[in-house]
Structure 1
Amino acid sequence: MLLPKPSAVRATAGSFTFAEDDQIAGPADLAAIVRRLLGPGSGLDLPLAADGRIAVGLDAALPAEGYRLSVTPERIEIFAADPGAVGWAVQTLRQLLPAAALLPGSRVRPLTLPAVQIEDRPCFGWRGMHLDTGRHFVPLSDLFRFVDLLALHKFNVFHLHLTDDQGWRFESRRFPRLQEIGSWRRETRRPAEQHGDGTPHGGFYRQDQLRALVGYAAERGVTIVPELEFPGHVSALLAAYPEFGNHPETGYEPATTFGVFEEVLSLDDETMAMVFALYSELLDVFPSRYVHIGGDECPSAEWLASPRAAELAAERGLDGPGHLQRWFTDQLRGWLAERGRIAVGWDEIAEDGPVPGAVAMAWRGAAHGVRAAEHGMDVVMAPTRRTYLDYYPSDRDDEPYRIGGLVTTPTVYAFDPLDGVPAEVSGHVLGVQGQLWTEYQPTPRDLDYTAFPRACALAEVAWSDPTGRSWEEFGPRLAAHLERLDMLGVGFRPEEGPRPWQRGGTGHRRRLAEQQDPSPEQPG
């Protein structure tokens, strides 16, 4: 009952029972990975020793992130393509243990594993989950917990959305008013409501806190890809530094409601210097090869109405201010490339043609990803109708308030990231990513309910061979896996039965869907 499903599993006779004095044989750095992931739940020290019954090593013949796991009554052996793959092997090993043995401090005795031979490799190299901390601040401890849950499901990318109209979450030492002013809004109001809640909301992460998170994630095979959102979604930034906007005389404030706002950066030389300074600070904290530059939902109305924007466009050889966003994207892509980083942007960055060397995250529909791939860009498939986990998980009237749309667990599981992608450009599809936007998910409990079990289905889409995939076969494995999540205290949404809590009354979901369907993609 493993999830995601390994490439090949063969059960054999007998079982392996851990002893209190069991040891690990193999290189110290690999043994440390096994100990870090297996030790807390098993309650074993697992020191290094040449004759240990748990053996770990590398095999260069294995594909990237691939591993072989052998459990016999006498011995556990792990051979992996790279240190990250050692971690994936141990995550599989953890799932073979009783669910209670996943908990730190567990003392399940006797602690046994079924004898089994497993060969495994991922389908995609980019297996991501996105988390928005801008709309609602997520406590730091819950970011660490989120990393653990990603690693358990063999996700290897954590896309951390750090800024938006409603709040700035990244500590800047160059521009301290960003956290002093931009990280707090005076209240929160849902767009369909006339009045806000009257409660201030905010918070930010210090750079050292984020460095600790990066290190913790790296030890579990997860790369954190940070995002600072420009040149739109900048209300919180302009509240702190109005001089970087097109109307500095305006009394900007962090947005108290949700949607797309017309305020954008002015993109003059002073603003560009600020952007590069902020990204310099970001690169100092996040070593990821990929850096997300945002770029979505950026209205051009302010630029089109601004004489100064027209002057800037002319100075830069552009046909008009409507081309400023593309110019900005090219500038930031080049700046990152000079520093050995690769820009990732929402698919709008390629609206005016391909951006060589950048990655397009296809959120408005798979067709945007196909077009970018056909023009030679690498792509991450993240279409709303398959991967937006902030959409409603069912059409029941007692579902908690959400932004609109409908993405069920079976819908996620049926997603094929390569559907419609010509074979000759399929190599440009790096992988797949799920999105957790937090407009209507103010607490970690909300995030649990929204993410799981749909993230479990997406994990299998990202990792496992799609051949022969069926919901009927997946269902029993998912049920067994949810027992593990329950043991870990994850407040997942039950696929059947009553909801754990309710918000709104009869017809609530239907009314909201009529008011706002945020997806630009047609069902399919």
Structure 2
Amino acid sequence: MEFQLSVKHLLLMFAFIFLIINCGGPSQLKIETARYSIIPKPQKLTEKNGNFNLNSDTKLAIVGQDEKLAGLVDYVRQQFGVPTGFAFEEAPDAQSNVLILKIDEQVKGKDGSYRLTVDPDKIEITAPNARGLFYGLQTVRQLLPYAIESRDLVEGVEWSLPCVEIEDGPRFVYRGMHLDVGRHFFPVSFIKKYIDLLALQKMNYFHWHLTEDQGWRIEIKKYPKLTQVGAFRKQTITTHASKKPYIYDGQPYGGFYTQDEIREIVAYAQKRFVTIVPEIEMPGHSSAALAAYPELGCTGGPYQVADRWGIFKDVYCAGNEKTFQFLEDVLSEVAELFPGKYIHIGGDECPKDRWKTCPKCQARMKKEGLKDEHELQSYFIHRIENFLLSKNRYIIGWDEILEGGLAPQATVMSWRGIKGGIAAARQHHDVIMTPTSHCYFDYYQADPATQPLAIGGFLPLQKVYFYEPVPEELTEEEARYILGAQGNVWTEYMDNEKEVEYMAFPRACALAEVVWTNKEQKNWFDFLSRLQGFYGHLYAMGVNYFRGNVGELIELNKKLQ
């Protein structure tokens, strides 16, 4: 990915600076805060007069049967009970001063649909399953004062929320965010916080990028050197990877998640109705694994865990049976740790240089009747897919897996624009849209001269908000294969969690609305009004979100249009 700014983007930056200088600064451009600051926007909202006030006598009523209801009771007492100090005692027959969670299969819609009624004497959430009830609770959470995010008792707050009638449900079944922990490692506490932020916005998939050239981050019992060797690099580049000479910090760096920590995170996500999609990169982006087990490469090494960013020629040897045995062993342990149906196997940016000169790879191609190295990669991906199908798991891969022939039941993540998604959908394969143009949150979101170092590009909040995941080139039948979209956070230039938060939010808020709210219901100015209120929740959660003045961007967009 290269840093390229169009003339329009440069004009945008200069105009942005002009506005700040000539419009008297941010104070003259103000966005009013919406009464119902809910993100993503509900499909149908009817305003009502009055408020409901939580107090020490507010009860919790559970109506219906669902095996996950007990978890919701615990969630209410943690999320709402801790900051308020209220017990939320169960009282199934309570009719007033009560929070009612009701299972009702008559509520129709996609998985996650719910109805919410807030009256002066009660709150009632109705849904066909516990997921819908949980999403209703997220809406209640956003309507309450920001202090509801505190993990300590907060005194002197009136725990009031406005009365309302809401009918809501998701547009897309896949609503995801990604985090790369290979380039930089982040602690368990931050992974949990990230998951909670996704859940707050009703996102349901967390794509956890666990292996990279620069670090292997998941404990594999059968191959201990993956973390003993592969999880650590001798130093890290400190300048942009496109600039030479490279400058390094000279400091060893690394870390990994134990299997117990992964189980803890998976359980945390499950309680928030977030499915984790682990990614184990192959055949490329494998330097860390090769440094630990050099016999898996075409040359036999020696290899090292990469200390700069980029694409490297040494990849898994596709002609070596030990490679497939190794990957099957690794994926067996991964499948045991992650109960979701998807495992992401990468498939992107795999140079073919080594394969072209490797006797084993060339012998494999001759034996299998493969005409070129692209077909060899397709063979590689097919073998991995067949193995994972035997484990009742399905592969997701970046759109390079289309090259040389797509594995029969693979889901494609379209990142190099939308062409890969279109091609896969026309072949009746499921697609998750994540094009660099709208979904890469490692791109600059404002004038690079004012921002922390990033990989390049330019992706402002408004562009994310106006993204439409279904390409217009698809027929109605083909469009059904678009499962949704995902925001990607690659961390070459984010070495701490505050930088991740700065780059991800509020762009993740815009994407949350893209994948949840029907496009006919979306409105940019209405979104900004609700975002002003939502910022309070981010602030209360200690999120270092990007604080660019949205009002100036609005005026700027008007001028450019």
TM interval, shorter chain, is over 0.9
SS of the equivalent of 2:491 reads: coil
- The amino acid of 2:40's aligned partner reads P
Question: Given the alignment of the two structures, is residue 212 of structure 1 paired with residue 259 of structure 2, yes or no?
Answer: no
SS of the equivalent of 1:78 reads: strand
RMSD: 1.5
Q: Which moved more, 1:331-340 or 1:434-443?
A: 331-340
Please, which of 303, 313, 328 is the counterpart of residue 262 of structure 1? 313
Shift of 1:398: 1.5
Contact kept? 2:378, 2:406, Cα under 8 Å: no
* Corresponding residue number in structure 1 for 2:18: none
Contact kept? 2:79, 2:149, Cα under 8 Å: no
SS of the equivalent of 1:279 reads: helix
TM-score computed with the length of structure 2 as normaliser: 0.86
Shift of 1:69: 0.6
Contact kept? 2:175, 2:205, Cα under 8 Å: yes
Question: Given the alignment of the two structures, is residue 70 of structure 1 paired with residue 112 of structure 2, yes or no?
Answer: no
Q: Deviations over 1:42-69 (max 9, x none)?
A: 3322122223421111222321210001
Please, which of 19, 43, 47 is the counterpart of residue 7 of structure 1? 43
Contact kept? 1:37, 1:90, Cα under 8 Å: no
Contact kept? 1:304, 1:322, Cα under 8 Å: no
Please, which of 424, 429, 432 is the counterpart of residue 372 of structure 1? 424
* Corresponding residue number in structure 1 for 2:505: 452
Q: Deviations over 1:267-303 (max 9, x none)?
A: 2111100000000010111101111111000111110
* Corresponding residue number in structure 2 for 1:507: none
Structure with larger RCO (C-alpha < 8 A, sep 6+)? 2
Question: Given the alignment of the two structures, is residue 464 of structure 1 paired with residue 517 of structure 2, yes or no?
Answer: yes
* Corresponding residue number in structure 1 for 2:162: 114
Q: Deviations over 1:58-115 (max 9, x none)?
A: 2223212100011111111111122111111101000110111221224353311211
Q: Which moved more, 1:100-109 or 1:148-157?
A: 100-109
* Corresponding residue number in structure 1 for 2:409: 357
Aligned 1:4-153 pairs, distance under 5 A: 4-27=40-63, 28-29=69-70, 30-52=72-94, 53-61=98-106, 62-63=108-109, 64-108=111-155, 109-153=157-201
* Corresponding residue number in structure 1 for 2:26: none
SS of the equivalent of 1:467 reads: helix
SS of the equivalent of 1:288 reads: coil
Contact kept? 1:34, 1:86, Cα under 8 Å: no
Contact kept? 2:60, 2:99, Cα under 8 Å: yes
What are structure 1's unaligned runs of at least 5 residues?
A: 498-524
Contact kept? 1:354, 1:375, Cα under 8 Å: no
Distance, in Å, in 1 between the alignment partners of 2:387 and 2:54 is 52
How many residue pairs get aligned? The number is 496
- The amino acid of 1:130's aligned partner reads H
Shift of 1:35: 3.3
TM-score computed with the length of structure 1 as normaliser: 0.92
Shift of 1:325: 0.9
Question: Given the alignment of the two structures, is residue 479 of structure 1 paired with residue 532 of structure 2, yes or no?
Answer: yes
Distance, in Å, in 2 between the alignment partners of 1:73 and 1:364 is 51
- The amino acid of 1:127's aligned partner reads R
- The amino acid of 2:224's aligned partner reads P
Q: Which moved more, 1:71-80 or 1:99-108?
A: 99-108
Distance, in Å, in 1 between the alignment partners of 2:448 and 2:493 is 17
Runs of 4+ in 1 over 6 A off after TM superposition: none
* Corresponding residue number in structure 2 for 1:511: none
Q: Deviations over 1:153-212 (max 9, x none)?
A: 111100000000000000011000000000000111142252211111100000010000
* Corresponding residue number in structure 1 for 2:11: none
Question: Given the alignment of the two structures, is residue 252 of structure 1 paired with residue 303 of structure 2, yes or no?
Answer: yes
Q: Judging changes above 3 Å, is the alpha-carbon distance between structure 1 residues 471 and 396 closer, same or farther for their aligned structure 2 residues?
A: farther
Contact kept? 2:41, 2:522, Cα under 8 Å: no
* Corresponding residue number in structure 2 for 1:436: 489
Q: Deviations over 1:415-461 (max 9, x none)?
A: 00013232221110110000000000010011011001111111110
* Corresponding residue number in structure 2 for 1:293: 345
Please, which of 175, 182, 201 is the counterpart of residue 223 of structure 2? 175
Shift of 1:406: 0.8
Shift of 1:36: 4.2
Contact kept? 1:356, 1:376, Cα under 8 Å: no
Question: Given the alignment of the two structures, is residue 402 of structure 1 paired with residue 454 of structure 2, yes or no?
Answer: yes
Contact kept? 1:25, 1:31, Cα under 8 Å: no
Shift of 1:352: 2.3
